[in-house]
Structures are given as C-alpha cells and as structure tokens.
Amino acid sequence: MLLFVVWLILMPLDAVRFGWSEVPGWLQVLGALGLVLSLYVLFLTFRENAYLALVVKVQQERGQTVVTSGPYRYVRHPMYATMFLFLPGSALLLGSWWGLLLCLVILGLLVWRTTLEDRMLKNELAGYDEYARQVRYRLIPRVW
C-alpha cells in the first residue's frame, strides 16, 4: 500500500512539478485508452462478483460461490488484471516515466498476491480447484 502511495505522489512531481519526464502525446493518448479500457473491465468485474473485496477472504456467512461468468470466463483475477492497464495507463497519461517504472514493481507484487490468493481459494472455496483447471490464466488471457 505504501508503494502505491509513493507512486501516486511521484507521478505528479515527475510530470508536472519538476518535469523530469517528457512523454510523447501519442503515448499519453494510448495511456488514456488503457485507463478507459481498464475501468470498463473493472465495471464488468464488479457487476459479476458480489463477493469482490479488497481483503482476501472467503465470505462463507454470505454463501460465497465461485463466479464463472463475465470476465471470470477468461481470467481468474480480472480485478487485478485491470491493473495491468490502469497503472501503466495512468503513468503514461500523466506523462511520467518514473511512474511507469514504479508501476512495474507494483505489478510484480500483484502477481505475487494472486499466487497467494489462488492457494487460499483452492483450500477454502468449494469448487475453486475445478474452476482453476477450467480457467487456466490468472491475469492475462492466453499468457498467464
């Protein structure tokens, strides 16, 4: 979380206050498109999964089940997958090469988190193991 806050502070300092980076306009437009696409997929993800939360836990008291529709047909962690568009898109849109570099570190930590979350869900959520066999990709369809 602290790394994310540093990222949020670093980008405007880089792109606006001190002008350390110069990102071409066409890359800023590409970043804006990535940002919009990530928010759309995030909307679809929240629409499909009523159990979605920032804290990793199985909500047995609410009768949580495995969600297999919407973006969950393609990747097991679509909310995290949107970060692969959102973070670099934000850095490019704001014009910060330093923000883009730091987002790679954040994305690496996110990959690690999905590994831990997958392990926990396989152990605690009925049907998740079968779902993981059917939907092979964690974050990026046809890649990983």
Which residue is it, tokens 């990983």? 144
Residue 81 has what pLDDT? 95
Q: Is 92 helix (H, G, I), strand (E, B) or coil?
A: helix
Model pLDDT, residue 80: 93
Q: Per-residue b/e over 45-84, b at no fewer than 16 CB within 10 Å?
A: beebbeeeeeeeeeeeeeebebbeeebbeebbbbbbbbbb
Q: Is residue 37 classed exposed, middle or buried when 0-12, 13-18 and 19+ CB atoms within 10 A define those classes?
A: middle
CA distance 94 to 122: 39
Average the pLDDT over 11-19 and give the result: 84
37-88 pLDDT, tens digit per residue, is 999 999 999 999 888 877 777 777 777 788 999 999 999 999 999 999 999 9
Residues 6+ apart with CB under 8 A from 5: none
Q: pLDDT value at position 62?
A: 77
Q: What is the mean pLDDT of the chain?
A: 90
Domains in the chain with CATH codes: 24-134 (1.20.120.1630)
Which structure tokens are listed for 36?
A: 């919009």
Helices first, then strands: H and E counts in the chain:
6, 0
- Residue 76's pLDDT is what? 94
